[in-house]
Structure 1
Amino acid sequence: MATNTSDEIKDGAIQTVGSQDPEAPSAEVSGQKQSLSDKFTIFASGAALVSDGYFNNLMTMVNVILAKQYPKSYTASVKTRVSNSLLVGEIFGQVVVGLTCDYLGRKFAIIVTTLMIVIGGILAAASSGKTPEGLFWMMTVARGIVGFGTGGEYPASSTSASEAANQRSLKSRGPIFILVTNLPLSFGTPLAVSIFLIVFSACHQAHYNTVWRVCFGLGCLLPLSVFYFRIRMLNSVLYRRGAIKRDVPYKLVLRYYWKSLIGTCGAWFLYDFVTFPNGVFSGTIIASVIPSTTKDVILKTGEWNLLLGALALPGVFLGAFLCDRLGRKYTMMLGFSGYLVFGLIIGLSYDKITKIVPLFVVFYGLMQSSGNMGPGDMLGLISSETYATSVRGTCYGLSAAVGKAGAAIGTQAFTPIQTNLGKRWTFIIAAIVGVVGVLVTYFFIENLSGEDLAERDRRFRAYLVENGWDGEMGEEDLKALAEDGQIPGEGIVVPNEAFNEEK
């Protein structure tokens, strides 16, 4: 039978029998200290997730100036490799850190991801080589390290933010989660372009080598700014009660969550397949539609790209507003429908609409904004609410990793699609993906109600027990206490009264 900790509330403090870790539930963690930690966690999660949006979208403009700086060496294949390296790193980071934050705790995982982002960012800024090819390989490896860190932020920061928001404000958990996860991720786009334009102007629209190095280096300041708060945070109450430290019954997990995993993995793959290449190559796309007679093409490209990033932000707030009113599932379907509408408008009228750059950028921005409103907002929220605390990081990380695989494939396929089918087809394919996304969401995504995450933990625990699992749940082995008679049961720990009633 599954074991769990036994909780008591005394003088506003949470005390759980049977643990010796000062951050585990056995130690008295005052309500005030835990509350402060929850606030730290929510704040630090948002501030650090900006790094992912920043480093992903920084390449939008860096690709443009590297092509100018190294016109012969920075070929389409090299551009794709450098851009994709962060995505590949993110896939590994999401899987590894997803497992780590379930086994070793949210705090440990978050500190590791912060260090990886900083180290990778420093190496990227210092990229060098005897030949341009050597420089690009060092940049590729450095961005891969950054990717491991930013990828790990998804399960580590998002699960922490969800659990902290659940503890702080259950009724507002959905909007709070969106505003500290997808908003920073989306804000990374205009932030990266704004910093690029400032540095580019400070360098008198020249000195390309200095521009991209400074931009990479400034990205390290984002995670460092919240490192103190991350060191001070505590693991959530939900985690301390529901963690499975060993012998995780993955077969039972898969049997219980197979449908949900198809939904979150599939929808995330489709979303990232569209949104990431359109983000990474948006600078290249916009540069291609700016008239060749225009002076300062790089500056104009950056300005239009800044507008594009700004137009994508309102979708985040609209999704936060609709998630409780319309529901997570139907908000996501609405967002995928936006891909269908705006993708077809741009794709079918591409030759005409690209002659009017402002109109093209507005519709392009509306397509990106609909993605933010739907799958951009909802996928993280749904993944953090669907799965039990004991496997939340693992399932969240796996879903996000499949999504990043879609991003890598989409980025790899982007140039061949433009070359062989025509530029309009990148938008027509986005419309097709929107239709598939609606279907996957409808058939495989649960219509969540925003209930207390502890309720889902209890149902999952009951399922494990009914299917013969006899492992331990919580941060301490309580079997010895049960055998000593400190917890009722014949050598078996009874988790709590609510569980007994469910059983």
Structure 2
Amino acid sequence: MAIAVLHALDSARTQWYHITAIVIAGMGFFTDAYDLFCISTVSKLLGRLYYYNPSTGKPGKLPVNVNNFVIGVALIGTLSGQLVFGYLGDKLGRKKVYGITLIMMVVCAICSGLSFGSSAGSVMTTLCFFRFWLGFGIGGDYPLSATIMSEYANKMTRGMFIAAVFAMQGVGIIFAGLVSMILSKIFLNMYPAPAFSDSPADSSHVLSTQPQADYLWRIVLMLGALPALVTFYWRMKMPETGRYTALIEGNAKQAAADMGKVLEIEIQAEQDKLAQFKAANEYPLLSKEFFRRHGKHLIGTTTTWFLLDIAFYSQNLTQKDIFPVMGLTQKPEDVNALREVFETSRAMFVIAFFGTFPGYWFTVFFIEKLGRFKIQLMGFFMMSLFMAIIGAKYHDLKQNKFMFGTLYGLTFFFANFGPNSTTFVLPAELFPTRVRSTCHALSAAAGKAGAMVGAFGVQYYTLSGKPGVIQKAMFFLAFTNMLGFFFTFLVTETKGRSLEEISGEDGGGDHEAGTQMTGTNTSATTATPY
């Protein structure tokens, strides 16, 4: 059943408003990535500042459990925020809760940098408290940005637009490294390392940490508030999506008026057709009908995102510990604190710029040509292959830094020209409008559960210092990626079809297509009239 406002959205030519929506939603993801990954550039600095023990004569280091919690607490918050805001996005509207996520990110990014306390433990506790709530706000951005972009886009460029929003995550990771690198260089020039003193213990501490470094990590964290603050006004000016207004609120006239203004066309309000449409799609999320139609897809999106994020976040959050092995940074004992931040940030920037960033945009440019399914399969397979090679040839690669860096960068490239992008796109397309935000949230939360496995499990293991840990970790991640490859067969291709056709809301039979791998329109032969 064709409803005018939905048809207008699906067939609309790409225009300036679509680009504006990509930028507005994308800046949220830029902020998300910056806030989540900038902590990796300064976590070693926190150890030098707050956990120095003069008796060791070595630079301070965060205890493993403290390091894991500082790195991973935002992921716990993100998982919680995804579930809460995803549900609210379906119940209250996408726009009503969209601004709340940005406010939380602004306030908590600033407060993270202002973390206080009379002891190292209290400073870390305060920092973790605010980073939890920062993650909570970040979590809301996942289902809301994906849902809003999918519901605004036309059916021929929808995947490209959603992927472009998510690609801003790559830009955020680059800026996390770039900002930390620039600021640490400025601090280095202003506060060069003092000369050694006579006492070995004292000289080690002098070399290890300039007192002014305490300002550096705070500034890096607080700058995460800036892009979110700039974006807030424009988010509040966005109208509610036409699909939410029409299919959930049941207001065909308002949906036609809002989308007609946005698309600069006149759209007919069809309240009678809309009432029939809604009556045919009233089944709740927790129902046999939902699981008959969409259960296989939901299992597919949750499992693949979970498995992908084990590898993706293990890579990103532990790369500071792999950089010395690759020869990209010096040993902590050989550099002062600010120099270590500079080298870690520079290495992160290089890997992100040449490996991570291009992968996102390859997905943007090829997703409508190759399709989501093929890109996801290819990405999982190539990640598994390169990680297995790193694990098998680890000792040889330690002697060949260029080859090590190339293989390591390729794992990032195929993560992003692969499942890291497509696991974000698919849940925004496969499910009915009424539960789209919630289903995306469930899928994303499964991903963050995988990220926590990476942050608290894989990272803990790699920091244990046992022989061969990085090799074993690479083999484990290669295995999880191969599992992701096989679980991808639970999802279906979505390119070139309307959201209602994909979900079966228009009376089509795609929900029965199961693991159909092509973009063929099946609704023509299975449609049942209302």
TM range (shorter): 0.7 to 0.9
- State the distance in 1 between where 2:16 and 2:237 align: 10
Mapped contact 1:417–1:425 kept (Cα < 8 A): no
Q: 1:425 aligns with which of 472, 478, 481?
A: 472
- State the distance in 1 between where 2:368 and 2:311 align: 26
Structure 1 residue 37: Cα displacement: 6.0
Deviations 1:262-297 (A, max 9, x none): 100000000111111210121122135435486544
Mapped contact 1:56–1:280 kept (Cα < 8 A): no
Deviations 1:440-497 (A, max 9, x none): 002x11122331113345x236599xxxxxxxxxxxxxxxxxxxxxxxxxxxxxxxxx
The aligned counterpart of 1:470 is none
- State the distance in 1 between where 2:506 and 2:118 align: 58
- State the distance in 2 between where 1:113 and 1:138 align: 21
Mapped contact 2:244–2:433 kept (Cα < 8 A): yes
- State the distance in 1 between where 2:486 and 2:367 align: 19
Structure 1 residue 71: Cα displacement: 3.3
Mapped contact 2:325–2:398 kept (Cα < 8 A): no
- State the distance in 2 between where 1:237 and 1:115 align: 25
Aligned residues: 442
Deviations 1:152-178 (A, max 9, x none): 100011111111123xxx322211221
Structure 1 residue 341: Cα displacement: 1.4
Q: Does 1:235 align with 2:235?
A: no
Q: Does 1:452 align with 2:436?
A: no
Q: Does 1:308 align with 2:351?
A: yes
Q: Does 1:119 align with 2:83?
A: no
- State the distance in 1 between where 2:3 and 2:423 align: 33
Partner-residue secondary structure (3-state), 1:194: helix
Structure 1 residue 201: Cα displacement: 1.3
Mapped contact 1:289–1:357 kept (Cα < 8 A): yes
- State the distance in 2 between where 1:249 and 1:382 align: 18
The aligned counterpart of 1:142 is 130
When the two structures are superposed, what TM-score results if normalisation uses the length of structure 2?
0.77
The aligned counterpart of 2:46 is 66
The aligned counterpart of 1:322 is 366
Q: 2:73 aligns with which of 70, 81, 85?
A: 85
Q: 2:186 aligns with which of 193, 202, 210?
A: 202
Q: Does 1:502 align with 2:490?
A: no
The aligned counterpart of 1:174 is 159
The aligned counterpart of 1:376 is 420
The aligned counterpart of 1:57 is 37
Deviations 1:356-384 (A, max 9, x none): 33332221111011010111111111111
Structure 1 residue 214: Cα displacement: 0.5
- State the distance in 2 between where 1:199 and 1:441 align: 42
Mapped contact 1:64–1:284 kept (Cα < 8 A): no
CA 1:328–1:249 in 2, change beyond 3 Å: closer, same or farther? closer
The aligned counterpart of 1:482 is none
Q: 1:97 aligns with which of 71, 78, 85?
A: 85
Deviations 1:419-444 (A, max 9, x none): 356121221112111211110002x1
Structure 1 residue 7: Cα displacement: 6.0
Q: Which runs of 5+ in 2 are unaligned?
A: 53-60, 192-209, 251-281, 510-525
Q: 2:342 aligns with which of 277, 296, 299?
A: 299
Mapped contact 2:51–2:120 kept (Cα < 8 A): no
CA RMSD of aligned residues (A): 2.9
- State the distance in 2 between where 1:269 and 1:191 align: 26
Mapped contact 2:494–2:502 kept (Cα < 8 A): no
- State the distance in 2 between where 1:5 and 1:103 align: 25
Mapped contact 2:156–2:495 kept (Cα < 8 A): no
Q: Percent identity?
A: 25
- State the distance in 2 between where 1:461 and 1:363 align: 46
- State the distance in 1 between where 2:469 and 2:318 align: 15
- Higher relative contact order (CA closer than 8 Å, sequence separation 6+): 1
The aligned counterpart of 1:131 is 119
When the two structures are superposed, what TM-score results if normalisation uses the length of structure 1?
0.81
Mapped contact 1:82–1:139 kept (Cα < 8 A): yes
Q: 1:255 aligns with which of 292, 300, 307?
A: 292
CA 1:461–1:452 in 2, change beyond 3 Å: closer, same or farther? closer
Q: Which moved more, 1:101-110 or 1:291-300?
A: 291-300
The aligned counterpart of 2:255 is none
- State the distance in 1 between where 2:15 and 2:237 align: 12
Q: Which runs of 5+ in 1 are unaligned?
A: 15-30, 465-498
- State the distance in 1 between where 2:340 and 2:72 align: 25
Mapped contact 2:181–2:341 kept (Cα < 8 A): no
- State the distance in 1 between where 2:342 and 2:399 align: 19
Structure 1 residue 45: Cα displacement: 0.3
CA 1:92–1:250 in 2, change beyond 3 Å: closer, same or farther? same
CA 1:254–1:96 in 2, change beyond 3 Å: closer, same or farther? farther
- State the distance in 2 between where 1:220 and 1:413 align: 29
